[in-house]
Amino acid sequence: MDVQAIKLRFGIIGNSPHLDRAIDVARQVAPTDISVLITGESGVGKESFPQIIHHLSPRKHGPYIAVNCGAIPEGTIDSELFGHEKGSFTGAHEARKGYFEVVNGGTIFLDEIADLPLSTQVRLLRVLETGEFLKVGSSKVIKTDVRVVAATNLDMLQAIGQGKFRQDLFYRLNTVPIQVPALRERKEDIHLLFRKFAADFAEKYRMPPIMLEEDAVRILSNFRWPGNIRQLKNLTEQISIIEKERSIDADTLKKYIPAGQSSELPVLFRPQNQQEASSGFWERDILYKYVFDTRRDMTEMRKEFSSLRQLLSDLLHDGSLSPEIVKNHSSVINRIQDEPTLDMQPEVPSSLLYDYTPNDSEHFSETEVIEENYSLEKQEMDMIRKALEKHDGKRKNAAKELGISERTLYRKIKEYEIE
């Protein structure tokens, strides 16, 4: 079954290459029994991929169950997944089978896997490695043949670093990773999804479907969609119900888009604690990072201009060019060489100062400067014009005198629009 057929079968809307890649990986891994970890932001549609994997696998006739690990209380998660014996804890009035026993021969989808308690992670690791587990309150080993597909919207490596997730379990689950793209990475699909949702809600509420005008489509495509497809669907439903006019323009659409999230401009990092938020520490940190990055850029520009000035000087004085051109431009070279430098070191208001230690790549001398930019393009244009005038417009001879190829000269003439 190809990617397009899978989309039709499972109701997946979109033509993004990123989405197609994720579906193709799921298609290829389905016939195997290896574990799969699906990652992606909340609301991107991760729940469709374990269904694709299950229904395209040899286990398709076996049971399939989806478990939201974040929705089960920590005290009962072991009982839900692995079962318990009668009397094993307060309220256990009878024995109960867990999901891993019920789904034997099938597939279990563990959503929000990062929310599992560490003790449960140990039990899950044993199931993945040996296919064995113990019920709560039992010492009898039970064998099971279950394929595990997990999903999370968190940064697993960060969770491992914080001691919230076991590294060995992560690598056992992450045999084949599938990254589901965020909606803002699928701009070509946003309007397509909107129209699909609009048609669905029109049928559900028995009303004409809403349609977006061109200016509204642009706003829809440039929105960041932090809630991804789920947020887009909710917004479409709101507009479908509330707006009487079926043609939606930009002004109408803006009323439904949260303020401050209407574009893809970068957003500031959240403060790590209340003290940082109240003191403005995090904003100043970003400001200082910007200042030092700017200074580094200025230093690189200074080096580039210095190299260009030296190159022009060499071309004029090493005999590559005629004495007439050297004479005509010697004054310009002297001006470039003798011009006072311009201090480009950024200043920061003293009210924003705090202890900041730049990293090794951010140390700058207090005397670092950048030289004023006299346009080398203008000098190059003048030299080309004079060479052409000297040789009565013959490009071959002019190129030879300038020390460049005729093809390069032709390109420069077009670039500078020299008559």
225 in the same domain as 111: no
Is residue 359 included in any domain, yes or no? no
139 in the same domain as 240: no
Query: pLDDT tens per residue, the chain (419 residues)?
Result: 899 999 999 999 999 999 999 999 999 999 999 999 999 999 999 999 999 999 999 999 999 999 999 999 988 999 999 999 988 888 888 999 999 999 999 999 999 999 999 999 999 999 999 999 999 999 999 999 999 999 999 999 999 999 999 999 999 999 999 999 999 999 999 999 999 999 999 999 999 999 999 999 999 999 999 999 999 999 999 999 999 999 999 999 999 988 655 554 444 444 544 444 444 444 555 555 556 566 666 766 666 666 666 666 666 566 555 555 545 555 544 554 444 444 444 444 444 444 444 444 444 444 344 443 445 667 778 888 888 888 888 888 888 877 788 878 887 888 878 87
- pTM equals 0.62
223 in the same domain as 335: no
Domain end marker among 128, 161, 181: 181
Give the pLDDT score at 366.
41
Give the pLDDT score at 224.
93
Number of domains in the chain: 3
Give the pLDDT score at 178.
96
310 in the same domain as 212: no
117 in the same domain as 220: no
25 in the same domain as 166: yes
Could you give the residue ranges of the DSSP H alpha helices within 16-61?
17-29, 48-55
Q: What's the distance, CA 44 to chain centroid?
A: 13
303 in the same domain as 175: no
Domain end marker among 132, 158, 181: 181
318 in the same domain as 198: no
Q: Which range marks the domain in which residue 309 is found?
A: 297-346+368-416
196 in the same domain as 114: no
Is residue 89 included in any domain, yes or no? yes
Is residue 84 included in any domain, yes or no? yes
Residue 124 sits in a domain whose CATH number is 3.40.50.300
Residue 229 sits in a domain whose CATH number is 1.10.8.60
Give the pLDDT score at 380.
78
How deeply is 63 buried, as exposed, middle or buried, from its count of CB atoms within 10 A (0-12, 13-18, 19+)?
middle
User: From CA 172, how far away is CA 413, in angstroms rounded?
Assistant: 62
Give the pLDDT score at 16.
95
157 in the same domain as 126: yes
Backbone dihedral angles phi then psi of residue 136, each to the nearest 5 degrees: -65, 125
Is residue 292 included in any domain, yes or no? no
Domain end marker among 181, 210, 229: 181
CA-nearest of 81, 108, 79, 104 to 94 is 79
332 in the same domain as 197: no
Residue 129: in which H helix or E strand, if any?
helix 118-130
Residue 179: in which H helix or E strand, if any?
strand 176-179
User: From CA 419, how far away is CA 389, in angstroms rounded?
Assistant: 11
Backbone CA torsion sign across 356, 362, 367, 372: negative
Is residue 194 included in any domain, yes or no? yes
177 in the same domain as 124: yes
CA angle 94, 108, 196 (to 5 degrees): 125
Is residue 268 included in any domain, yes or no? no
Is residue 270 included in any domain, yes or no? no
Is residue 263 included in any domain, yes or no? no
